A and B are shown apart, each in its own frame.
Chain A
C-alpha cells in the first residue's frame, strides 16, 4: 500500500469552503505533480474531496495573531491534508 497525499487550501476554516489552492504528492510514483502544473482545482470544496474517498488526516489550527502582527499576512491559513492508500 502506497500513500497519495492531497493538500487543499480553503477560503475559510470550514471544510466545506471553496478550494483556493492545492498540491498533490504521489507515493505510488505513477504521477509527478509539480509547481504550476494546473489552473483548475481537483475539487471545489474540501467536503467534495471527502465524498471522493480522500481521508482527512490533518487540519490547520486556528491560532490567534501574535500581538502587534494582527495585520500581517503570510502562509495560507486554512490547510487540509488528505490521503488515499493504493
Chain B
C-alpha cells in the first residue's frame, strides 16, 4: 500500500488548528458508490478493533482509508495499525431545522501527548445552504466537556464547511464542532471513523522539514476568536504538544514556555 506522509509543516498546522482538510481527494468511482453503501449501513465493529479486522479487504471503508493521501495522513498522525474506536454515518435531512449545539465528542479528554483522530468523509459536494459541519479552528486544546459549549453560536473565524465531493477531514478528538442546519433540498451525508493510536505518536510523519520556518509560523498562528491573553496560552499548549510529538523538550515558539520553566538549581 503506497502512502503519502505529511510534512512537518502540515502536522504543525494540525497541532495549531486541530484539523487537516484534504479537499476532493477521494475519486469519483468511490464517491459514486458511497451513498448506497452508507444507506445500507456499514457493520459497526466492537470498540478498539484493528482496522484490518474492522473493515475487510476490498470493503468500501477499507478502500477509503487506504487511498494513499488518507493512509499517509493517518499514519502521520496516529501511526501504523491504529484501532477503530467506532464509526457512524451522519445524515442531515433537507430543511432540517436544528443545528447541533457546538460540542467536542465523547467526554473531556485532556491528553496532551496522545490523541485520537476522527476522519470525516463527505461523498457529495457540500454547499453553503446544506449546513456543512461547523468547525472552530484551534479549539481542540480547550478543556471542556461535550456540549457544555452549546451556548456559543458563532465564533470569529469559524469554518462553515463547504467542500467538493470526496473531501476528507481529519480532526483532533478535542475539536469544537457541530452539524449545521440543512436549509437545502438535498440530503447531506457524512461518514465518520474515530481512530485510536497503538504506538507513541512521536515523529510519525516525514520530518525532513522539521526546521522549516513554516513549522514555527503554523504553531504561532492566532485564530480570530481567541481572547488576547488566552491566545498566548493556546500557543504555549501547542508548544507542549509539539515537544511531545517531536520528543524535543527544548522547542519553543516565542520564549514563553522556556521562560516559565526556568528554575535554576531546582528539581522539577
Which residues from chain A sit less than 8 Å from chain B, CB to CB?
7, 9-12, 17, 19-24, 32-39, 41, 71-78
Interface size class of B (residues with CB under 8 A): 35 or more
Q: What 15 new A-B contacts, CB under 8 Å, besides A24-B153, A34-B98, A71-B237?
A: A17-B228, A20-B156, A21-B225, A35-B178, A36-B102, A36-B158, A36-B180, A71-B236, A74-B142, A74-B143, A75-B148, A75-B149, A76-B227, A77-B230, A78-B227
Q: Are B153 and A23 in contact, CB atoms less than 8 angstroms apart?
A: yes
Which residues from chain B sit less than 8 Å from chain A, CB to CB?
97-102, 131, 134, 141-144, 148-156, 158, 160, 178, 180-181, 224-230, 233-234, 236-237
Chain B contacts for A17, CB-based, 8 A: 228
From known contacts A20-B225, A34-B99, A35-B180, infer whether A73 and B153 are also in contact, taking CB-CB under 8 Å: no
Q: Are B154 and A21 in contact, CB atoms less than 8 angstroms apart?
A: yes
Sample 24 A-B pairs with CB under 8 A, ordered by A number: A20-B155, A20-B224, A21-B156, A22-B154, A23-B153, A34-B99, A34-B153, A34-B180, A35-B100, A35-B152, A35-B178, A35-B180, A36-B131, A36-B153, A36-B160, A36-B180, A36-B181, A71-B236, A73-B142, A73-B233, A73-B237, A74-B144, A75-B148, A75-B149
From known contacts A7-B151, A76-B152, infer whether A39 and B158 are also in contact, taking CB-CB under 8 Å: yes
Chain B contacts for A76, CB-based, 8 A: 152, 227
